[in-house]
Amino acid sequence: MSNPAIIVDQLGKRYKLGLRENRRALKHRRLSEALTGLLTAPWRRFKTLSEQTTAESEFWALKDISFEVQPGEVVGIIGRNGAGKSTLLKILSRITEPTEGHAIIRGRVGSLLEVGTGFNPELTGRENIYLNGALLGMRKAEIEAKFDEIVAFAEIDKFLDTPVKRYSSGMYVRLAFAVAAHLEPEILIIDEVLAVGDAAFQRKCLGKMEGVARAGRTVLFVSHNITAIEQLTHRCVLLTAGSLTIVDATPSVTQHYLSSMQASIHHHDSLLTVPRPSNDLTRDVEFAGLRVLGHADRPRVPADLPITFELLVHGRKPTPPFRMSATIFSLDGMPVGSFFAPEQMSVRPNEMCRYHVVLRNHHLTPGSYFCGAALGWGDPLVGHRDCDLLLQVAPFEVLPANSASGTMPNWF
pTM above 0.75, yes or no: no
**Confidence label for 99 from pLDDT (cuts 50, 70 and 90):** very high
- Both 105 and 177 in a single domain? yes
What percent of the chain has pLDDT above 70? 79
Per the structure, the complete domain to which residue 343 belongs is given by 268-399
In a domain, 1, yes or no: no
Least confident window among 133-147, 267-281, 293-307? 267-281
In a domain, 279, yes or no: yes
Of the three residues 238, 261, 284, the one that is the final residue of a domain is 261
Buried b (16+ CB within 10 A) or exposed e, 109-141: bbbbbebeebbeeeebbbbbbbbbbeebebeee
Evaluate the CA torsion angle 63, 67, 71, 72 in order and state its sign: negative
Pick from 364, 387, 183: nearest CA to 285: 387
In a domain, 115, yes or no: yes
- Both 274 and 395 in a single domain? yes
- Both 224 and 206 in a single domain? yes
Question: What pLDDT sits at residue 138?
Answer: 78
- Both 379 and 255 in a single domain? no
Which has more pLDDT, 322 or 112?
322
- Both 103 and 182 in a single domain? yes
- Both 279 and 391 in a single domain? yes
In a domain, 201, yes or no: yes
In a domain, 185, yes or no: yes
**Confidence label for 115 from pLDDT (cuts 50, 70 and 90):** low
Q: Is the predicted pLDDT of residue 319 greater than 60, yes or no?
A: yes
Pick from 224, 220, 152: nearest CA to 195: 224
**Confidence label for 214 from pLDDT (cuts 50, 70 and 90):** confident
Compute the distance between CA of residue 166 and CA of residue 265 in angstroms, rounded to an integer: 42
Compute the distance between CA of residue 374 and CA of residue 396 in angstroms, rounded to an integer: 18
- Both 152 and 16 in a single domain? yes
- Scanning 309-351, the segments in alpha helix (DSSP H) are none
Q: Is the predicted pLDDT of residue 179 greater than 90, yes or no?
A: no
Number of domains making up the chain? 2
Question: What pLDDT sits at residue 163?
Answer: 94
Which has more pLDDT, 269 or 155?
155
Domain with residue 352: its CATH number is: 2.70.50.60
Determine the average pLDDT of the residues in 26-36.
Answer: 49
Least confident window among 30-39, 302-311, 340-349, 372-381? 30-39
Least confident window among 156-160, 251-255, 271-275, 408-412? 408-412
Question: What pLDDT sits at residue 381?
Answer: 61
What percent of the chain has pLDDT above 90? 29
In a domain, 72, yes or no: yes
Q: Is the predicted pLDDT of residue 334 greater than 80, yes or no?
A: no
Residue count (the chain): 412
φ and ψ at residue 286, rounded to 5 degrees? -140, 155
Compute the distance between CA of residue 345 and CA of residue 375 in angstroms, rounded to an integer: 10
Compute the distance between CA of residue 194 and CA of residue 285 in angstroms, rounded to an integer: 42
Domain with residue 48: its CATH number is: 3.40.50.300
- Both 272 and 234 in a single domain? no
Question: What pLDDT sits at residue 268?
Answer: 57
Residue-wise pLDDT tens digits, 375-410: 988 766 666 688 898 888 888 888 887 644 434 445
Determine the average pLDDT of the residues in 114-132.
Answer: 82
Of the three residues 219, 238, 261, the one that is the final residue of a domain is 261
- Both 177 and 192 in a single domain? yes
φ and ψ at residue 193, rounded to 5 degrees? -70, -15
Question: What pLDDT sits at residue 405?
Answer: 41
- Both 133 and 164 in a single domain? yes
Of the three residues 261, 295, 311, the one that is the final residue of a domain is 261
The pLDDT mean for the chain works out to: 81
In a domain, 151, yes or no: yes
In a domain, 233, yes or no: yes
Q: Is the predicted pLDDT of residue 162 greater than 60, yes or no?
A: yes
How deeply is 383 buried, as exposed, middle or buried, from its count of CB atoms within 10 A (0-12, 13-18, 19+)? exposed
Compute the distance between CA of residue 391 and CA of residue 99 in angstroms, rounded to an integer: 38
- Both 313 and 390 in a single domain? yes
- The amino acid occupying position 378 is G
- Both 340 and 393 in a single domain? yes
